[in-house]
Amino acid sequence: MTTRIYDLPTRMFHWLFAGSFLTAFTIANTVDDESTIFAWHMLAGLIMVFTVLLRIVWGFVGTKHARFSDFHLNPAALFQYIKGVFTGTNIPRAGHNPASSWAAMLMLLLAIGLGVSGYLMASGAGGDVLEDAHELCADLFIGIVMLHIAGLVLHNLKHRDQLSKSMISGDKQGLDQSTQSVRSHKLLGFILLCVTLSFGIYLQQNFAPATGTLHLLGTTLQLTELEGDSLNKSAAKENDDD
């Protein structure tokens, strides 16, 4: 017996959030920061933050298991859950389990940290400390993602209940018969996708590849590093080495 646990907006957010972060992270680590392509690192990051803001709203007004009130953020519960993963004593949970609750909350907070630090750097504020903080948030984010995936693999190996597919289908198996399915909200899911795509189009239309700048709500952001800035950084680094 399957029960719908995650509505479409929640699942849509999950994949838009994951896709935008992976896009930003991949570009940041594979493309030179003077390249026009590097600007898409920031554009993808802005889309990620945009989806986070929508998710925060849905976390208060969404269906039962999408709400933050359904998250299990008690440290003792997390310890017991991790212990149960290895002993096989965990019972199926309708919504987020303690591990996924902590992972989701930490990723949301780190995404906000990435967005704020990235915005400040693009607007000309901060310095090496801000850049280091940005990179730390990204590394911590990837670390949590890897732990989350490892947890899913361990869970599936022990319980074989296809938990990893719940964010695709929205359904879970083996739950208590009293657990009721939530509304799918297909229309809202479609609206979420359209709004996010519209925001992405807005960013693309206000981005000037020739200068690597983005005009966002009356603010000009420098998304690529200018050649002069690169030379200045190199010179400063050489002076520090001396």
Domains of the chain, first to last? 2-241 (1.20.950)
Mean pLDDT, the chain, rounded, equals 87
What dihedral angle (degrees, nearest 10) is formed by the CA atoms of 57, 63, 69, 74? Answer: -120
pLDDT digits (tens, 9 = 90+) for 47-83: 999 999 999 999 999 999 999 999 999 999 999 988 8
Cβ 163 vs Cβ 156: under 8 Å: yes
Mean pLDDT of 195-219: 94
What is the rounded radius of gyration, in angstroms, for the C-alpha atoms of the chain?
21
Residue of 45, 95, 107 lying closest to 71 (CA atoms): 95
Alpha-carbon distance of 169 to 5, in angstroms, equals 9
Q: Average pLDDT, stretch 126-152?
A: 89
